[in-house]
Amino acid sequence: MEEGREAPSHVVLIPSPGMGHLIPLTEFAKRLLPWKHLSTTVITFSAFTSVAEQSLLTSLSASISIIAVPNIRHDDLGARGGTETKLGDAIMASFPFLRTILLNLKEQAPVVALVTDIITIGVHHVARELGLPAFVFFTTTIMYLTLFLDLPNIYNQTNEDGNLIHLPGNVPFRPKDLPR
């Protein structure tokens, strides 16, 4: 870096595995490219990266850095649960690697945002430890978002008498229709 010029601020994106999670965050990364004062890194979980995901990642601009968290052996994750449980366990088992990666990025330039999706939200604990601002990139339908945001109110104000719950833009539903 030339003397007198600061390193660009850093935005770190951590999508969970799966094209439905990777595509929105890589598209977001592309939207940040014109901002010359920002550098962007996408962190992936190599144990869960498919051939299609790898192809997408290699097609990105060289201006977007890609870092893969080392493989967490599936054997180390235990036998409990299905793929979603193993994925959650793998993300938690990756915290030490993520901590090291984030510390290294933080040494290179100020990390101004750590952006996860709803599945990798557990990484916010690591961000908090390191004093990094963390955000959730919530890519879903507006109907789900209104339900998600209003769930605490629904939970606190609903009884089992069958009154319909009305959310803006949603079809009314009964409390018993919600999972427990």
Instruction: Give which of 117, 98, 107, 96 is closest to 19, Cα–Cα.
Output: 117
If residue 17 lies in a helix (H) or strand (E), which one and from where to where?
none
List active site positions: 21, 117
Dist CA 118 CA 131 (whole Å): 20
Residue whose token pair is 């060289």? 62
Dist CA 94 CA 169 (whole Å): 38
Residues 6+ apart with CB under 8 A from 98: 14, 43, 69, 123, 126
Binning the chain into helix, strand and coil, the percentages to the nearest 5 are 45, 15, 35
Residue 4 main-chain phi, psi, to 5 deg: 90, -15
